[in-house]
Every structure is written in structure tokens, then in C-alpha cells.
Amino acid sequence: MIKAFIKNSTILTTYALISIPLGYAVRLLYANNLSIAEFGLFYALLNFFGFVGVFNDLGFSETQRYFIPRYLAKNEFHKVKAAIKHHS
């Protein structure tokens, strides 16, 4: 378990260290090639959709992981179907 944690942490840190300079380079590229209004609009929309994306799931995935195994254990298949249908 510790080996998996260290491996996953190393991968995550590596990708973070790679993505930071790449994100900065893309921002510089956009700043040099777009007008001020286009640049501002692009990042305003990007931030808006990122903010809305936070509320997209609203905990349904965690709820399904909790309830679906319990419904399956009780043979309540109609509730499993409803839970999956509701999330889609």
C-alpha cells in the first residue's frame, strides 16, 4: 500500500511539475496572439466552466458507491436501475 502511495504521489507530482510551465507557456502564447478583450473573455469563460464543473457531480458518485452495493445485496435491482438512471 505504501509503495502504491509513493508511486501515485510521484506520478502526480511529476505531472504537476510538467503542467505548470506548459500552462504558463500557453498563457504567454495566448497573450501574444489574442487581443486584450479576447484574452480576457477566454479566461473568463474558462474559469466560469471550471467553477460550474465543481458543482457538476454534487456527490452523486460517492452516493452511488455507497448505495448500489447495498441495493444489490438486498436484491433491490429496481433501485439500482433508478440510481444509475438518475445520475446519467
Using one digit for the tens of pLDDT, what is the confidence trace for 26-77? 999 999 999 999 999 999 999 999 998 888 777 788 888 898 899 999 998 8
Q: State the amino acid at position 43 in one-letter form.
A: Y
User: What is this structure's pTM?
Assistant: 0.55
Give the Å distances, CA to CA, from 40 to 1, 15, 20, 36, 73. Answer: 45, 27, 20, 6, 52
* Confidence bin at 9 (pLDDT 50/70/90): very high
Q: What is the pLDDT of residue 33?
A: 96
Q: Where are the alpha helices (DSSP H) in the chain?
A: 2-33, 36-54, 60-73, 77-87
Helices 60-73 and 77-87, packing angle to 10 deg: 170
Question: pLDDT averaged over the chain?
Answer: 89
